[in-house]
């Protein structure tokens, strides 16, 4: 039995049509399934939580149609123990699809769905968790992330883009990236540069001044194909971090295009490291994102890896 969760709003409202394609393939393959549609009141996290509650002590094959944000929602209600009985069958239908790009998923839903149901195999993937030691909104203690987590400039771009009415209009005509470009420039001017104190694993604390952001990556890409950490691997039991500081704002504009090929890593002010755990304190509260989803500002967070906890279905060798 497959439990299918799909986001009808994914890919600028094309999610429902993509589900019809998947439904046809599942029917042709003779597979049993139950389908659940996400809504603002019943998001993917709510649906997964309900499935876990009413189907205890059984393996759950969850087929998820959505973008990185839908995947992020889905995993929030899963406990570390419950991850053991869930296999995720991911069908990327978002606008950015950074996870799919990093893994090398095909654009063919026919190939993916038929491969999933005929192979019935999976691999283990690392998962990240951010703990909010001090957040502006009360009640925020932790969030998982499959792709990346960021504090500062990159999260500010996500926060404005997620709430942009113009972005929704441009997405419908395939010009959503123009909105991101405008917001990226605007936030570069408006996001404060701060002092950050970082402690990586058991090493000594160190401080960076005039910091723009710190991005902690489980995969190579975020923000629609920007290779913040080009050497990040999702099953090595570690996370990668990229932070930028003490760079003139005019210089940042020339560095941003190099992110697409990961050529920023040698630029002055950019530092890349590998870790299992990092604590970050900033001199001001900053937006924090997990897989592009933004919930609150914080000035004290801890991020660490949960090795191999995700079971990700595979559709090819």
Burial class (CB in 10 A: 0-12, 13-18, 19+), 189: exposed
Q: Is 166 helix (H, G, I), strand (E, B) or coil?
A: helix
The confidence score (pLDDT) of residue 162 equals: 84
The confidence score (pLDDT) of residue 224 equals: 83
The confidence score (pLDDT) of residue 276 equals: 98
The confidence score (pLDDT) of residue 10 equals: 74
Contacts of residue 169, defined as CB under 8 A and 6 or more positions apart, other chains included, come to none
118: number of CA atoms within 13 Å, CB side?
Answer: 12
The confidence score (pLDDT) of residue 211 equals: 97
The stretches in the chain having pLDDT less than 50 are none
The confidence score (pLDDT) of residue 23 equals: 95
Instruction: Please report, for residues 28, 29, 74, 253, the alpha-carbon distance to residue 69 in angstroms, rounded to integers and kept in the order given.
Output: 29, 29, 9, 27
User: What are the chain's domains?
Assistant: 2-119 (3.40.50.10330), 127-308 (2.60.200.40)
Are 51 and 60 in contact, with CB atoms under 8 Å apart? yes
């Amino acid at each position: 039995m497959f439990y299918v969760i799909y986001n009808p709003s994914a890919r600028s409202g094309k999610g429902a049509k993509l589900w019809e394609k998947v439904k046809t393939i599942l029917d042709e393959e003779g597979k049993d399934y139950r389908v659940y549609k996400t809504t603002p009141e019943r998001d993917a996290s709510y649906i997964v939580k309900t499935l876990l509650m009413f189907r205890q002590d059984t393996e759950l094959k969850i087929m998820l149609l959505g973008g990185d944000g839908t995947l992020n929602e889905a995993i929030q209600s899963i406990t570390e123990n419950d991850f053991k009985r869930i296999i995720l069958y991911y069908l990327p239908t978002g606008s950015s699809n950074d996870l799919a790009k990093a893994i090398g998923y095909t654009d063919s839903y026919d190939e993916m769905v038929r491969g999933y149901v005929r192979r019935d195999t999976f691999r283990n993937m690392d998962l990240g968790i951010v703990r909010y030691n001090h957040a502006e909104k009360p009640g925020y203690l932790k969030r998982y992330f499959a792709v990346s987590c960021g504090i500062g400039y990159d999260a500010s771009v996500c926060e404005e883009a997620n709430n942009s009415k113009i972005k929704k209009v441009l997405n419908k005509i395939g010009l959503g990236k123009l909105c991101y470009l405008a917001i990226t420039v605007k936030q570069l001017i408006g996001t404060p540069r701060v002092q950050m104190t970082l402690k990586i694993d058991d090493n000594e604390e160190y401080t960076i001044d005039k910091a723009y952001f710190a991005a902690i990556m489980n995969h190579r890409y975020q923000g629609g194909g920007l290779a913040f950490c080009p050497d990040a691997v999702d099953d090595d039991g570690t996370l990668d971090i990229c932070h930028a500081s003490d760079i003139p704002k005019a210089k940042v504009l020339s560095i941003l295009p190099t992110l697409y090929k990961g050529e920023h890593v040698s630029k002055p002010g950019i530092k890349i490291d590998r870790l299992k755990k990092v604590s970050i304190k900033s001199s001001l509260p900053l937006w924090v994102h997990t897989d592009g989803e933004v919930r609150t500002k914080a000035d004290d967070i801890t991020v660490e890896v949960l090795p191999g906890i995700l079971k990700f279905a595979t559709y090819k060798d």
